[in-house]
A and B are shown apart, each in its own frame.
Chain A
């Protein structure tokens, strides 16, 4: 039986299986792509506690929206804030305003420490208690007693004669510059007074509907504030704002770029073929490819990452080549040539185009990076499915058609006769030298840019506001912190205390401003015990500081025993469970991770981290058991760097393998297939360097794709008959134009990753298509094929 009899049916059966599998995936398994960027990390870098820590830090931030309303005059700020809140009030199902500080809330807050306040000491008081004797404390207490300003004192003197609890509260208060004032939260930056509104979203931050409802409400509230005080400053910060901006931008770009490229491609195909059949069939081959890739990937990988799907869309760029080539050759071929005979004639070229592209992806499958592996498998399987669709179905679906404008290929062929050809003449040498100079010039200017922050695509205004809020509120960084583990809650607290000793040194050296930790609020049992012992010895004993103090101020014995009893009454052991029941714990709960199995884990977060302090912070964790420094920004950036370097090597090696694959068919002309793509890639790199663009992963992903596509062009042009009828040149032209219309337009995107990708594709594909004819063999000597 001939292939033409069985191939279409076998393929149809396979496609049916793929369709069924896809149906199962989408409807039964509710296929939801993974959006967690951490899933792309190599396996050994991931561990569950670390992931929970990150998720908890991010989740704590995700639903929050912080609004600062400020003016040089506090009353102006208050009035404007009141109007702002009034405007939000009707939308409590969207956003919850918890900015009112009631007396009761403040009381509850203090109440929770009442029974254990004796062992709540600042680092300085703790140190003094261990090193100083009773005379020191006597002097200290008397100074406080007689001084006009005894320091912060939330309690009556007799409840806190040494001011410890007051000092401790003061230290806790200094973890944040936010203060209650006139029943609201306030903060001041020296020039302005701000009302702080901590708002909580009642809809998911990433849900489109919620965003669309929320944004006008916020704008309305801002307007209300402006109406009250004209020069009011309203600063908003929250993940939802970035999400909404990104969604809005994506929508806008999708309509401009998407519609633009679709319309452009349809017009192009219509002008060329006077029929939309080619585009329908090419789209069919791509669709089968995409669905096949999904099936295979979901069989191999547990979950499919969103980035894979997005990058998978770039399959179109390569997969369309097979279909377009077939159409062009069909149009260029004689009518009496049967489509299956035509296929047999172009099959070697088609096989080569597929195999040379697959080589690159194979290199990626072998990487240790799950993200790249998934993308590679997805792309490779997609290409195979698209390719098989063309080979098995197109001969039956595309027949010779006398109505086709056969003149098109001839006219395209005419262009070629005027195209310059690379020869070994002097003139060519000049061109080569100029080219080498240009590339060298650009390459010298090329730098690497792996910083994840460079990929941030929020509007500058939002980023500025976010930074400003972070600075005014002195917020801890969510992406850099310590992760600690312990076998029990108490062991974990002790570990935190060990780490904090080192961090105190860094605070003194001004490397950081401070830290947040649960052990700031609940000392470990051991520390509580030690402090209590020291207090009993130095302060409460018969000859202790309290007794001396009593004598000095002329208090009687009753006073002494009463005071002693009061202090000891406030020395009950404090547990973490108890702390979490109090309202004081609310802002800090995210620092304590839920227990998993026997493992407890917690976070020590940092304020005032600068780039300069990162090495010292990393250093602080070394040598401490079960303390890990997590720098998410640094980790992702270095991951992107690893990906970029790996990708660079894969591309380089791919060129050699592709050359080896081409050699059996094109022999000593093989270089002519490969060189245009190589030159186009170098040109793209040089132009990026000259444009001051830092080289990043997405540029290289584009170069990888360029290799796949560019070599196709080389193969088309190198095939026999390709120059005579112009069909191959037409295929190159259409493929290049439609690739430019789809990926090239991505260069207009405001999303840095897409822009980098699109820009590289535009330069590379444009250059490859223009350079490819320069390396065709002389028309007198028809290309030889072995």
Chain B
């Protein structure tokens, strides 16, 4: 199903409020901007393949609206995650559209996502066991889905950061691994450019 990759995306956006063991502590550390954009660098290590696959691009999180994920290298590709759907473009062409109303799993992920954005830590804890540490204004957590079926597909997710999330690592059960590093974070209305804003 779509859970693994979605959970990856979800954890990206869910980061501002991800509760760790001391959920309140992390919440206090995290900034909660309305708009947040930045650069990402993704490294995928696939089972059976020696060389890692690298890609990079920009991402934006807009509170109450959703998430934009724009790969620029080596491919231009845009993904938009909102409450009702997931749409992917390659240039002008829509290459994928999933309706959250048709896919309850998707809806679940989206609801977690928005709960996280809204600062509703209770929602997140419903679905994940959260285990983590806070030290000197920085934190790191490990998420484990409570549903065994979901956990089996998603595997383990780890996040760390301070005011913003810095790293996400996803270890899938089938051996594929993904690591994402965030940098050049900007916040506020100026952070999002007009092309990106137009996509919402």
Interface on A for B, CB 8 Å cutoff?
A: 74-75, 101, 103, 106, 142-143, 145-158, 173-174, 177, 179-183, 186-188, 190, 193, 553-556, 559, 562-563
Q: Is the CB of B1 within 8 A of A154?
A: yes
- The residue from A103, A147, A157, A559 contacting B77, defined by CB atoms under 8 A apart: A147
Q: Nearest Cβ distance between residue B149 and chain A, in whole angstroms?
A: 6
Select one of B69, B102, B152 contacting A148, CB under 8 A: B69
Taking CB atoms, residues of chain A closer than 8 Å to B149 are 101, 103, 106, 180, 183
Contact of A103 among B48, B102, B152 (CB under 8 A): B152
Contact at A190–B102, with CB atoms within 8 Å? Answer: no
Considering the complex, give the chain B residue whose CB is closest to the CB of A194: B104
Q: Is the CB of A181 within 8 A of B9?
A: no
B109-147, CB under 8 A of A: which get 1 and which 0? 000000000000000001000000000000000000001
A149-B1 CB under 8 A given contacts A143-B77, A155-B174: no
Q: Which 6 A-B pairs have the closest CB atoms?
A: A156-B174, A146-B55, A188-B104, A554-B51, A158-B48, A152-B2
Asked if B95 is an interface residue, CB under 8 A from chain A, the answer is yes
Asked if B183 is at the interface (CB within 8 A of a chain A CB), the reply is: no
Residues of B that sit less than 8 Å from A by CB: 1-2, 4-6, 8-9, 42, 44, 46-51, 53, 55, 69, 71, 74-75, 77, 79, 81, 86, 88, 90, 95-96, 101-105, 107-108, 126, 147-149, 152-153, 172, 174-176
Q: Can you pick out 15 interface pairs between chain A and chain B where the beta carbons lie within 8 Å of each other?
A: A103-B152, A145-B44, A145-B46, A147-B71, A148-B8, A149-B79, A149-B88, A156-B48, A156-B174, A174-B102, A181-B104, A183-B147, A188-B107, A553-B49, A553-B51
Per a CB cutoff under 8 Å, which of A149, A153, A555 touches B49?
A555
Q: Closest CB of chain A to B144's CB: distance in Å?
A: 15
Q: A142-B74, A152-B1 are in contact. List 11 more A-B contacts (CB 8 A).
A: A103-B148, A106-B149, A143-B77, A147-B71, A147-B77, A149-B81, A153-B4, A156-B48, A158-B48, A179-B104, A554-B50
Q: Which residues of B contact A187 (CB under 8 A)?
A: 104
Residues in B whose Cβ lies below 8 Å from that of A152: 1-2
Residue pair B53, A146 in contact (C-beta under 8 Å): yes
Among A146, A154, A174, A190, contact of B74 (Cβ-Cβ < 8 Å): A146
In angstroms, Cα B8 to Cα A151, docked, is 12
B133 → chain A, closest Cβ, in Å? Answer: 27
**Once the chains are docked, how many angstroms separate the CA of A664 from the CA of B183?**
111
Inter-chain contact B50/A150, CB cutoff 8 Å: no
Q: Shortest beta-carbon distance, A196 to chain B, in Å?
A: 11
A441 nearest CB across to chain B (Å): 52
Is A559 in contact with B48, judged by CB distance below 8 angstroms? yes
CB distance from B177 to the nearest CB of A (A): 11
Cβ-defined contact, A149 with B86, below 8 A: yes
Tell me if B69 and A158 are in contact (CB < 8 A).
Answer: no
Q: Considering the chains assembled together, what is the distance between the CA atoms of A180 and B107 in angstroms?
A: 14
- Of chain B, the residue at the smallest CB distance from A566 is B48
Contacts A103-B152, A156-B175, A177-B104; is A147 near B49 (CB within 8 Å)? Answer: no
Provide the residues of chain B in CB contact with A147, threshold 8 Å. Answer: 71, 75, 77, 79, 88
Which residues does chain B contribute within 8 Å of A146, judged by CB atoms?
A: 42, 44, 53, 55, 71, 74-75, 77
Judge whether B50 and A555 touch: CB under 8 Å: yes
Bound CA span A179–B50, Å: 36
Residue in A closest to B104 when the chains form the complex, CB atoms? A188
Q: Contacts of A156 on B, CB cut-off 8 Å?
A: 46-48, 172, 174-176
| A158–B104 CB distance below 8 A | no
Q: Which of B42, B75, B81 has the most CB of A within 10 A?
A: B75
* Inter-chain contacts of B126 with A (CB < 8 A): 75
Complex: chain B residue closest to A556, CB-CB: B50
Q: Which residues of A contact B86 (CB under 8 A)?
A: 149
DSSP class of B's interface residues: helix, strand, loop or mixed?
mixed
Contact between B147 and A148, CB atoms less than 8 A apart: no
Q: Flag if A186 contacts B51 (CB, 8 Å).
A: no
Interchain CB contact under 8 A, B75 and A143: yes
- Contact present for A143 and B95 (CB under 8 Å): yes
Cα A146 to Cα B52 in complex, Å, equals 11
Complex Cα distance, B1 from A151, in Å, reads 8
- Docked CA distance A142–B53 (Å): 10
Give the residues in chain B near A190, CB-CB below 8 Å.
Answer: 101
Contacts of A553 in B (CB 8 A): 49, 51, 53
Across the interface, name the chain A residue whose C-beta is closest to B147: A182
Q: Nearest chain B CB to A146's CB is how many angstroms away?
A: 4
From A101, A145, A149, A156, residue with most partner B Cβ within 10 Å: A149
CA distance A151 to B4 in the complex (A): 10
Q: Assess whether A151 is in contact with B2, with CB atoms less than 8 Å apart.
A: yes
Q: Which residue of B lies closest to A146 (CB)?
A: B55
- A175 CB → nearest B CB, Å: 12
Residues of B near A148 (CB, < 8 A) are 5, 8-9, 42, 69, 71, 79
Min CB–CB distance B77 → chain A (angstroms): 5
**What are the residues of chain A within 8 A of B108 when measuring CB–CB?**
74, 181
Instruction: Pick the contact of B46: A158, A182, A186, A562 (CB < 8 A).
Output: A158
A150 & B5 in contact (Cβ 8 Å cutoff): yes
In the complex, residue of chain A having the shortest beta-carbon distance to the beta carbon of B178: A148
A75 to B105, CA, bound (A): 15
B152: nearest chain-A partner, CB-CB: A103
In the complex, chain B residues whose CB is within 8 Å of the CB of A563: 48
Contact A149–B55 (Cβ < 8 Å)? no
Specify the chain B residue showing the minimal Cβ separation from A107: B152
Q: Return the chain B residue nearest A552 by Cβ.
A: B74
Other-chain contact of A158, B49, B74, B152, B172 (Cβ < 8 Å)? B49
A188 to B104, CA, bound (A): 6
A156: min CB distance to chain B, Å = 4
Output the nearest chain A residue to B81 by Cβ-Cβ distance. Answer: A149
Q: Which residues of B contact A103 (CB under 8 A)?
A: 148-149, 152
Interchain CB contact under 8 A, A143 and B1: no
When distances are taken between beta carbons in the complex, the residues of chain B under 8 Å from A182 are 147
**Residues from chain A with Cβ under 8 Å of B47 in the complex:** 156-158
Q: B50 contacts A149, CB within 8 Å?
A: no
A168 shortest CB reach to chain B, Å: 13
Looking at B53, B69, B148, B172, the one whose CB has the most chain A CB atoms below 10 A away is: B53
Q: Which residues of B contact A188 (CB under 8 A)?
A: 101, 104, 107
CB distance from A562 to the nearest CB of B (A): 7
Give Cα A563–Cα B95 distance, bound, in whole angstroms.
Answer: 25
CB distance from A88 to the nearest CB of B (A): 24
The smallest C-beta distance from A183 to any residue of chain B, in angstroms, reads 7
Q: How far is the CA of A559 from the CA of B9 in the complex (A)?
A: 29
Question: Do residues B104 and A186 form an inter-chain contact, with CB atoms below 8 A?
Answer: yes
Within the complex, the shortest CB–CB distance from A639 to chain B, in Å, comes to 38
Name the A residues within 8 Å of B6 (CB-CB): 149
B70 → A minimal CB distance (Å): 10
Q: Say whether A193 contacts B102, CB under 8 Å.
A: no
Which of A74, A106, A157, A186 has a CB less than 8 Å from the CB of B176? A157
- Closest-CB distance, B49 to chain A (whole angstroms): 6
CB distance from B188 to the nearest CB of A (A): 24
Write the nearest CB–CB distance from A174 to chain B, whole angstroms: 7
Residue of chain B at shortest CB distance from A155 = B174
Q: CA separation between A156 and B48, bound complex, in Å?
A: 10
Bound Cα distance A106, B152 (Å): 12
Q: Which residues of B contact A74 (CB under 8 A)?
A: 108
- Chain B residue numbers with a CB within 8 Å of A106 are 149
Chain B residue with minimal CB distance to A178? Answer: B104
Distance between B106 CB and nearest chain A CB, rounded to angstroms: 10
Residues of A within 8 A of B147 (CB): 181-183
User: Which residue of chain B is the closest to A156 with respect to CB atoms?
Assistant: B174
CA distance A179 to B4 in the complex (A): 16
- A140: shortest Cβ distance to chain B, in Å? 8
Q: A147: shortest Cβ distance to chain B, in Å?
A: 5
- B88 CB contacts on chain A under 8 angstroms: 147, 149
A residues within 8 A CB of B75? 142-143, 146-147
Q: Are B104 and A143 neighbours in the complex by a CB distance under 8 Å?
A: no
A158 vs B45: C-alpha distance when bound (angstroms):
11
B199 to chain A, nearest CB (A): 15
Question: Whose C-beta in chain A lies nearest to the C-beta of B6?
Answer: A149
Q: How far is the CB of B100 from chain A (nearest CB, A)?
A: 10
Chain A nearest CB, measured from B47 CB (Å): 5
